[in-house]
Amino acid sequence: MKKLIPVYVRVPVIFFSVMMALEYFIDSGDRPAFIKFPMVSVFLFVFLFLLIAIEITVSAIDNITYHLLTEEQKKMLEETVHVSIKDSVWFQKLMKLLTKSEPLESETSILLHHDYDGIKELDNTLPPWWVYLFYGTIIFAGIYMVRFDIMGADNQEMELKKEMAQAKIDVAEYMKTAPDLMDEKSVTLLTDPAELAIGKSIFTTNCVACHRADGGGQIGPNLTDDHWILGGGIKNVFHTITNGGRDGKGMISWKATLKPKDIQHVASYVLSLQGTHPKDPKAPDGEVWVDDIKPVTVAAVTAADIAPIKK
């Protein structure tokens, strides 16, 4: 039997269409679904096997049916098979429906009485698809005018601005809870004993060679006093550990070794060492660092700061 699409095109198209649909609907992260989930591979293999089996079965049925036909039926079938698509009955009916054009033998009935140097004009009706498309544009224009000019809906520029603003809010919220995307702007000081214990473990593994186990300083500076070379506070300490100290003589950068969450832990632990008294601490390095953001207390307000109230 005649088929519009050959089997060597039909089978791959169907198979890869199903495969793409599975990849779209199955959330497999950064790996293809058929690799991450073995059952998907099994399903695709069985599906391909069934496709090939169906094609072989249909082909066998066609061969058996052909041999059961009479000679006259075989001749009619061969004539039908060799008919081009444009000459087929269904194609002619489709074109008639889409264009409503008159056949050549009936053109005299729509011939207009115009003659331009031997060129005559036919009064053909407009193709239905063109007419309906034109009506559709009129309806679309009316809806567009009412929605945007009368009701004042957001245009594309305003929608973009709102989406960009919402995206910034979403990114900021995500950054607050995404430890691997933490930086010195979003890092916060940890004070929970369990969190500080994690920081102590990281400090013991990576930092004691330069700062000693008690933080008193050896090659590196003393971490227990209030002097800081590159600034104190959780944000500055996090930045220093992440990017390293001074060029040529400071601490190395740890961002390739430790994750941001680990750096937060160890930075918080380092700050917890302030005020402790290690044995034989190293002399202070840097300058005394004072946090710019300090809560205002009642004791800080003196009588001289209170202006007299005039009645």
More confident residue, 180 or 228: 228
Q: Would you place residue 204 in the very low, low, confident or very high pLDDT band (cuts 50, 70, 90)?
A: very high
Would you say residue 304 has pLDDT above 80? no
pLDDT tens-digit series, residues 104-158: 777 777 777 777 887 888 777 788 888 899 999 999 999 999 998 889 888 889 9
Percentage of the chain lying above the pLDDT 70 cut = 89
Q: Would you place residue 172 in the very low, low, confident or very high pLDDT band (cuts 50, 70, 90)?
A: confident
Q: Which residues contact 277 (CB under 8 A, 6 or more apart)?
A: 224
Q: Would you place residue 298 in the very low, low, confident or very high pLDDT band (cuts 50, 70, 90)?
A: very low
pLDDT tens-digit series, residues 10-65: 899 999 999 999 988 888 877 888 888 889 999 999 999 999 999 999 989 988 98
Are the C-beta atoms of residues 264 and 179 closer than 8 Å to each other? yes
* Average pLDDT taken over every residue of the chain: 84
pLDDT tens-digit series, residues 274-290: 989 898 888 988 888 88
Query: What would the mean pLDDT of 206-234 be, rounded to a whole number?
Result: 91
